[in-house]
């Protein structure tokens, strides 16, 4: 028998809208990069991505995430890159954004690679996941709670 919890869709409208905005933002960023760094598509993708992020986690949490003392360097590069893209210097702006994105979300990459490594038998991601686990980036309790939901009887919901 399935052990899924019935959740009302009325509670998730802002979340779905935010995920949609982030998805369309990533699409426009990718499409703008494929079309030789079209500044209009990149700027539209940046605005959609940031607005979707603010809707998903809330405006206060978004601002507190971006303006933490240890993340100010990454935030300045990321937001500066967005401003440079809006001023129609797309290549320089995307380089600044990329550096800012990497420095902002550096702590999230081990979690993402660990999750992707457990999804299937993908050789490169599995190797990265094992390396991160050996080096102590992913703890065993986190792996049991987040990366392996089957331990909690949720395997049929996925």
Q: Are residues 137 and 65 in the same domain?
A: no
Q: Are residues 24 and 75 in the same domain?
A: yes
158 located within any domain: no
Residue 119: which domain range?
A: 109-149
pLDDT in tens, 109-128: 777 766 766 666 667 666 76
Question: Could you read off the pLDDT tens digit of each residue along the chain, which spans 158 residues?
Answer: 455 555 555 556 788 899 999 999 999 999 999 999 999 999 999 999 999 999 999 999 999 999 999 999 999 999 999 999 999 999 999 999 999 999 998 888 777 766 766 666 667 666 766 676 655 555 555 554 444 544 444 444 44
Q: Are residues 122 and 97 in the same domain?
A: no
Give the pTM: 0.68
The answer for 122, left when phi > 0, alpha when psi is -120 to 50, beta otherwise, is beta
87 located within any domain: yes
Cβ atoms of residues 96 and 55 within 8 Å: no
């Amino acid at each position: 028998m399935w052990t899924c919890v019935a959740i009302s869709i009325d509670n998730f409208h802002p979340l779905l809208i935010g995920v949609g905005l982030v998805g369309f933002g990533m699409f426009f960023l990718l499409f703008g990069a494929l079309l030789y760094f079209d500044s209009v598509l990149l700027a539209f993708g940046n605005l959609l991505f940031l607005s979707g992020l603010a809707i998903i986690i809330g405006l206060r949490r978004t601002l507190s995430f971006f303006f933490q003392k240890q993340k100010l360097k990454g935030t300045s590069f990321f937001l500066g890159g967005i401003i440079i893209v809006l001023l129609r210097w797309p290549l320089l702006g995307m380089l600044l954004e990329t550096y800012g994105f990497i420095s902002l979300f550096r702590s999230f990459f081990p979690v993402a690679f660990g999750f992707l490594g457990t999804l299937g038998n993908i050789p490169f991601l599995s190797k990265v996941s094992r390396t991160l686990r050996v080096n102590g980036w992913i703890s065993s309790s986190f792996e049991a709670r987040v990366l392996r939901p089957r331990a909690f009887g949720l395997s049929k919901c996925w």
